[in-house]
């Protein structure tokens, strides 16, 4: 009985750690601006198939719900990703999926990027006129994009707001794995970039 209790407690602790870290990352390097984003950038994920994979579908839904907070009034969805895993750019696959969800808001495609750095570089012209900017992805990946925007265009970094890409309990079982992967992918960021909250 005691061994079972220890396993249960350890499992709960691991789930809580994954939840906490993903929540923290979703709130790091966002500006003090209030309100929903004018532009939500959805970052693509390597997609070898002819339709959006499960990760890209989730990212599109997170991007759409980030806009939904404002009922979509004047907000734009920017879908970013080139043909990294297959012959069709991730941006196009995500756009098809967004249309299948009956999303009728403004959609702009950036279909040349092959890395997160390029995602950020290539969407900057689409962000110039935005008052509030959000990156929608898994929290660690969105944090990486915010850090890259801060490096490339610090004048735009103050416009960053949270996307609705973190919800308590969503991806609960996967969050510890996402947290471990996030720690690995964020190793190139400075301590300040990884921990600075608004």
- Please state, in angstroms and rounded to a whole number, the distance separating the CA atoms of residues 110 and 44: 10
pLDDT in tens, 161-184: 999 999 998 988 899 988 898 899
125 belongs to a structural domain? yes
**Cβ of 58: how many Cβ atoms within 10 Å?**
18
Report pLDDT for 178: 87
Task: Give domain status of residue 134, yes or no.
Answer: yes
pTM reported for the whole predicted model: 0.90
Q: Is residue 5 part of a domain?
A: no
Q: Is the pLDDT of residue 193 over 60?
A: yes
pLDDT in tens, 14-41: 999 999 999 999 999 998 766 778 999 9
Range of the domain at 29: 17-195
- Report the C-alpha gap between 70 and 10 in whole angstroms: 40
Q: Does 3 map to a domain?
A: no
What proportion of the chain, given as a percentage, has pLDDT over 90?
Answer: 69
Look at residue 198 in the predicted model and tell me its pLDDT: 47
Residue 113 lies in a domain: yes
| DSSP-assigned letter for residue 165 | -
DSSP labels, 48-77: -SSS--HHHHHHHHHHHHHHHTTTTTT-EE
- Count of domains observed in the chain: 1
Q: What is the CATH number of the domain that holds 98?
A: 3.40.50.620
The pLDDT mean for the chain works out to: 90
- Does residue 29 sit within a domain? yes
């Amino acid at each position: 009985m005691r061994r079972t209790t220890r396993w249960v407690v350890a499992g709960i602790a691991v789930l809580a750690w994954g939840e906490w870290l993903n929540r923290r990352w979703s709130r790091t390097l966002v500006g003090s601006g209030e309100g929903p984003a004018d532009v939500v950038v959805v970052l693509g994920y390597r997609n070898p198939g002819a339709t959006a994979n499960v990760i890209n579908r989730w990212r599109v839904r997170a991007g759409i719900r980030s806009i939904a907070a404002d009922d979509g009034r004047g907000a734009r969805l920017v879908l970013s990703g080139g043909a990294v895993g297959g012959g069709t750019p991730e941006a196009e696959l995500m756009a098809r999926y967004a249309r299948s969800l009956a999303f009728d808001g403004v959609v702009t495609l950036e279909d040349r990027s092959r890395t997160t750095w390029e995602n950020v570089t290539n969407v900057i012209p689409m962000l110039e006129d935005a008052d509030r900017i959000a990156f929608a992805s898994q929290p660690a990946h969105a944090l990486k994009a915010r850090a890259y925007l801060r490096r490339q265009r610090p004048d735009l970094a103050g416009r960053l707001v949270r996307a609705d890409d973190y919800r308590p309990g969503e991806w609960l079982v996967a969050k510890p794995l996402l947290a471990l992967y996030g720690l690995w992918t964020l190793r190139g960021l400075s301590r300040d970039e990884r921990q600075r909250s608004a």
